Amino acid sequence: MSKPDLGIMYGDEGLKNTKKLLHKFGAAERLVWSGARVGIKPNLVLPSPAEKGATTDPEIVAGIIEYIKNYSPAEITIMEGSWVGSETEQAFQTCGYVDLAEKYGVKLKNLKNDGIQTLSGGKDVYKICAGVLEQDILINVPVLKAHCQTKLTCALKNLKGCIPDSEKRRFHREGLHRPIAALDQIIQTDLVVVDGIYGDLTFEEGGNPVKMNRIIAGLDPVLVDSYAARLMALEPGDVGYLKRAAAKRGVDTSLSEAHVQEFNTPVDQVSLRENSSRLAAELSDKYINGKAACSACYGNLIYALYRLKSNGALNSFSDKIYIGQDYRGQKMEGPGIGSCTAEFSRNLEGCPPEACEIMEFLKNDVL
Binding residues for ligand SF4 (CB under 6 A): 266, 293-294, 296-297, 324-325, 338-340, 351-352
Nearest to 194 by CA among 7, 51, 2: 7
CA distance 162 to 180: 11
Cα→Cα distances 6→154, 226, 229, 323, Å: 14, 11, 14, 26
Nearer to ligand SF4, 162 or 304 (CB): 304
Nearer to ligand SF4, 97 or 322 (CB): 322
Q: How far is the CB of 340 from ligand SF4 (least distance, A)?
A: 3
Nearer to ligand SF4, 46 or 212 (CB): 212
Q: How far is the CB of 286 from ligand SF4 (least distance, A)?
A: 20
Hey, which bits of 32-162 come out as E strands? 37-42, 75-80, 107-110, 116-121, 124-129, 137-141, 143-147, 151-153
For ligand SF4, the nearest residue by Cβ is: 338
Strand order from edge to edge, sheet including 346-348? 288-290, 321-323, 335-337, 346-348
Q: How far is the CB of 281 from ligand SF4 (least distance, A)?
A: 18
Q: How far is the CB of 325 from ligand SF4 (least distance, A)?
A: 5
Give the three-class secondary structure for 8. Answer: strand
Nearer to ligand SF4, 109 or 214 (CB): 214
Q: How far is the CB of 201 from ligand SF4 (least distance, A)?
A: 19
Nearer to ligand SF4, 10 or 67 (CB): 10
CA distance 76 to 60: 15
Work out the end-to-end distance of the chain between its first and last CA atoms, rounded to an integer number of angstroms.
42
Give the three-class secondary structure for 127. Answer: strand
Nearer to ligand SF4, 144 or 294 (CB): 294
Nearer to ligand SF4, 31 or 212 (CB): 212
DSSP string, 161-224: GGS-HHHHHHHHHTTSHHHHHHHHHHS---EEEEEEEEEESS-TT-SSEEEEEEEEEES-HHHH
Q: How far is the CB of 4 from ligand SF4 (least distance, A)?
A: 20
